Amino acid sequence: MAKAPAYRTLAEIQELRWVCFTLSKAATRPGAADEARHRIRCLRGGVPRPWTWAAF
């Protein structure tokens, strides 16, 4: 099955949205700030794929 040409771009947009959601919870939910920092490290290439993100 061939992937659409824009698949990776759309996937990266979704990953960024998940990071932003976690950031929005950082002030009120325990662990959210740490999880947001971890996700940002992932997006910046500091953590090799596949990533493991906690649910929020």
CA–CA gap between residue 38 and residue 24 (Å, rounded): 15
pLDDT of residue 4: 85
One digit per residue, pLDDT tens: the chain, 56 residues?
557 889 989 999 999 999 999 999 999 999 999 999 999 999 999 999 999 999 87
- Residue ranges of E strands in the chain: none
CA–CA gap between residue 1 and residue 22 (Å, rounded): 32
Structure tokens at 47: 């953590």
Cis check for the bond before 30: say yes or no (omega within 30 of 0): no
pTM of the model: 0.83
CA–CA gap between residue 51 and residue 39 (Å, rounded): 9
pLDDT of residue 5: 82
